[in-house]
């Protein structure tokens, strides 16, 4: 599995320091959460900040998580899609929430599928129709399909992971069961064909996230792996 570290972006030295820490850490991707910054910064100022970031050998993932997906900003569909169009011009991947797509609207109308992580979140429960959700994402052929749910019990975790294993696609897949009950999905999801885990450096962006250090130790023992990409 690869590891993805989320950071909330702003224009302070604190963020710059955290970003440098992530660049020099043993994570593989850095997720830049933009919703908090958009409450304080002009979108074009934010894009200027992103354009000059140097991730070294890490891959960047730009995410705008709105309030209807557990995030920190309210945006109309038009505002959201316009921001995604701008983010697609940067060097990195873009997270797009499945709920932002109309039934007849192609993802390609505002985001490049080859650089899109198409995601679905449910912070309250585990939907009954997991296969339907996977297939709804599949029709857009994104680089990555991500499904994150809140389990009520172990059976919900098992159901999510089995749905990931059984979903056949050329896209990469990420299946996350949030909270303590879902720890197995974050640590050993690759056994069910989930290729990535989100870990924290200091600040969690979702329930149940492990720290990067804790994840490395639990995955491989006391000293962690020599290269996170080989996990």
Phi, psi at 210, each rounded to 5°: -90, 155
Q: Which positions ≥6 away from 180 have C-beta within 8 Å? A: 208
Active site residue 121: yes
What integer best gives the mean pLDDT of the chain? 92
- Residue in this structure with the two tokens 């290729």, named with its chain if needed: 195
Architecture in CATH of 2-220: Alpha-Beta Barrel (3.20)
Q: Pick the closest to residue 4 from 146, 164, 157, 151 (CA basis).
A: 146
What is the CB neighbour count within 10 angstroms for residue 45?
A: 11
Domain chopping of the chain, boundaries: 2-220
What is the CB neighbour count within 10 angstroms for residue 79?
A: 15
HSE toward the beta carbon, residue 188, CA cutoff 13 A? 9
Q: What is the pTM of this model?
A: 0.91
What is the per-residue pLDDT for 228?
Answer: 39
pLDDT in tens, 118-170: 999 999 999 999 999 999 999 999 999 999 999 999 999 999 999 999 999 99
126-144 burial, b for 16+ CB within 10 Å, e for fewer?
bbeebeebbebbbebbbbb
Mean per-residue pLDDT pooled into runs of 10, the chain (231 residues): 96 95 97 95 95 97 92 94 97 96 89 97 95 97 97 97 98 96 96 97 70 92 45 32
Residue 101 DSSP class: S
Active-site pick, 58, 140, 146, 173: 146
Q: Strand, helix or coil at 116?
A: strand
Q: In whole angstroms, give the CA distance from residue 46 to residue 69.
A: 21
What is the CB neighbour count within 10 angstroms for residue 8?
A: 18
Active-site pick, 121, 140, 167, 173: 121
φ/ψ region of 134 (left if φ > 0, alpha if ψ in -120 to 50, else beta) reads alpha
Q: Are 39 and 71 in contact (CB under 8 A)?
A: no
Q: Pick the closest to residue 136 from 86, 177, 171, 161 (CA basis).
A: 171
């Amino acid at each position: 599995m690869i590891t993805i570290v989320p950071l909330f972006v702003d224009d302070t030295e604190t963020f710059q320091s955290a970003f440098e820490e992530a660049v020099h850490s043993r994570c593989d991707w850095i997720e830049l959460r933009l919703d908090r910054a958009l409450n304080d910064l002009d979108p074009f100022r934010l894009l200027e900040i992103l354009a000059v970031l140097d991730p070294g050998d890490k891959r960047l993932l730009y995410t705008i998580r709105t309030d209807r997906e557990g995030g920190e900003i309210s945006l109309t569909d038009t505002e959201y899609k316009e921001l995604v169009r701008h983010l697609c011009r940067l060097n990195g991947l873009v997270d797009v929430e499945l709920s932002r797509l109309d039934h007849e609207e192609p993802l390609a109308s505002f985001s490049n599928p080859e650089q899109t992580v198409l995601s679905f979140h449910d912070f309250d429960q585990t939907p009954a129709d997991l296969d339907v959700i996977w297939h709804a994402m599949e029709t857009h052929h994104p680089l990555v399909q991500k499904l994150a749910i809140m389990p009520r019990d172990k059976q919900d975790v098992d159901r999510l992971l089995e749905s990931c294993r059984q979903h056949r696609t050329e896209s990469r897949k990420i299946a996350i069961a949030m909270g303590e009950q879902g720890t197995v999905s974050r640590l050993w999801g690759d056994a069910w064909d989930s290729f990535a885990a989100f870990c924290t450096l200091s600040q969690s962006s979702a329930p149940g996230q492990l720290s990067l250090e804790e994840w490395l130790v639990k995955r491989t023992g006391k000293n962690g792996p020599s290269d996170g990409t080989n996990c």
